[in-house]
Chain A
Amino acid sequence: MGKYSRREFINNTLLAGGLTLASSLGSCKSKSVKQPLDAAPDGPVLKAGLIGCGSRGTGAAVNYLDAGPSLELVALGDVFEDKLIACRQNLKEKKGIEIDSEKCFVGLDAFQKVIDAGVDVILLATPPYFRPEHFEAAVKARKHVFMEKPVAVDPVGVRSILINSVRAEELGLSVVTGTIKRHQADYLETYERIKSGAIGDIVSGNCYYNQGKLWHVNPRAEWTEVESMIRNWVNWTWLSGDHIVEQHIHNLDLMNWFIGSHPLSATGFGSRQRRTTGDQFDNFSVDYIYPNKVHVHSMCRQINGCTNKVSDLIRGTHGYTNCENTIFNAKGEMKWKYELTEEQEKDKWHFFWRAFAQEHIDWVTAIRTKVPINEGKQIAEATLMAIMGRISAYTGKIVTWDEMLNSDLRIGPKVFDMFTTGIKKAIPVMGTL
Chain B
Amino acid sequence: MLMNYKRIIQIVLLMAVLVLSTYLFKQADTYTSSAAFCNSCHVHNHAQLSWEGSTHYIESEEELSCVSCHLPPKGEGFYREKIKRGFKDVYAYYFKDSVDHNWELKSRPEQAREHTFKASCLECHPKLFPIQLSPNGEIAHWHYQQHETDMHCIDCHLNVGHGPGGKASHNFELLNTTIKTDTLYLVSAQIRDLKSFTETIPQSSIGFDMIAIEKGDSSFFIGKAEVSWDEYLLFLRETESEGRSENEIDGFSGATPPWGNPDQGWGMGSRPAITMTHHAASMYCKWLSVRTGKSYRLPTEAEWEYVARQVITTESELVNTINSDKTKTIEPQEVSPDVLGLHHLFGNVKEFCADEFEKGSKEHVLKGGSFKSEKTNYRADYREATQHDHWMKTDPQIPKSIWWYSDCNDVGFRLVLTYQNTEKP
Contact = CB atoms under 8 A, between A and B. Distances in A.
Interface of A: 140, 159, 162-164, 166-167, 170-171, 405-408
A163 B142 contact: yes
B129 A163 contact: yes
B88 interface: no
Contacts of A166: 128-129, 145
Contact of B131 (A140, A159, A406): A140
A159 B143 CA distance: 10
Contact of A407 (B128, B130, B141, B398): B398
A164 B129 contact: yes
A408 B129 contact: no
A167 B126 CA distance: 11
Contacts of A171: 131
A405 B129 CA distance: 18
Contact of B126 (A170, A405, A406): A170
B128 A406 contact: no
A405 B146 contact: yes
Interface string B93-137: 000000000000000000000000000000000111111000000
B243 interface: no
A262 to B, nearest CB: 13
B138 interface: yes
A432 B126 CA distance: 46
A167 B400 CA distance: 24
Contact of A167 (B129, B146, B398, B399): B129
A170 B399 contact: no
Interface in B346-400: 398-400
A163 B131 CA distance: 11
A170 B145 CA distance: 14
23 contacts: A140-B131, A159-B142, A159-B398, A163-B129, A163-B138, A163-B141, A163-B142, A166-B129, A166-B145, A167-B127, A167-B130, A170-B126, A170-B127, A170-B128, A170-B129, A170-B130, A171-B131, A405-B146, A406-B398, A406-B399, A407-B398, A407-B399, A408-B399
Nearest to B126: A170
Nearest to B132: A140
Contacts of A162: 142
B294 to A, nearest CB: 36
Contacts of B130: 167, 170
Contacts of A405: 146
B394 to A, nearest CB: 14
Interface in B144-196: 145-146
Contacts of A159: 139, 142, 398
Contacts of A407: 398-399
A31 B129 CA distance: 38
A164 B142 CA distance: 10
B142 A408 contact: no
Nearest to B145: A166
A160 to B, nearest CB: 8
Nearest to B143: A406
Contacts of B398: 159, 406-408
A159 B130 CA distance: 16
A197 to B, nearest CB: 30
A232 to B, nearest CB: 31
Contacts of A163: 129, 138, 141-142
B150 to A, nearest CB: 15
Given A159-B398, A170-B128, 8 more contacts: A163-B138, A166-B129, A167-B127, A167-B129, A170-B130, A406-B398, A407-B398, A408-B398
Contacts of B138: 163
A163 B138 CA distance: 7
Contacts of B145: 166
A25 to B, nearest CB: 43
A170 B128 CA distance: 8
Contacts of B127: 167, 170
A406 B131 CA distance: 23
A162 B129 CA distance: 11
B399 to A, nearest CB: 6
B68 to A, nearest CB: 22
A408 B396 CA distance: 13
Closest 5 CB pairs of A and B: A167-B129, A170-B127, A140-B131, A163-B138, A163-B142
Contacts of B126: 170
Contacts of B142: 159, 162-163
Contacts of A406: 398-400
A140 B138 CA distance: 13
Contacts of A164: 129
Contacts of B399: 406-408
A167 B129 CA distance: 5
Contacts of A167: 127, 129-131
Contacts of A140: 131
B125 to A, nearest CB: 11
Nearest to B128: A166
Nearest to A139: B131
A407 B131 CA distance: 24
A164 B129 CA distance: 8
A408 B146 CA distance: 16
B92 to A, nearest CB: 40
Nearest to A165: B129
Nearest to A155: B398
A166 B400 CA distance: 23
A163 B129 CA distance: 7
Nearest to B129: A167
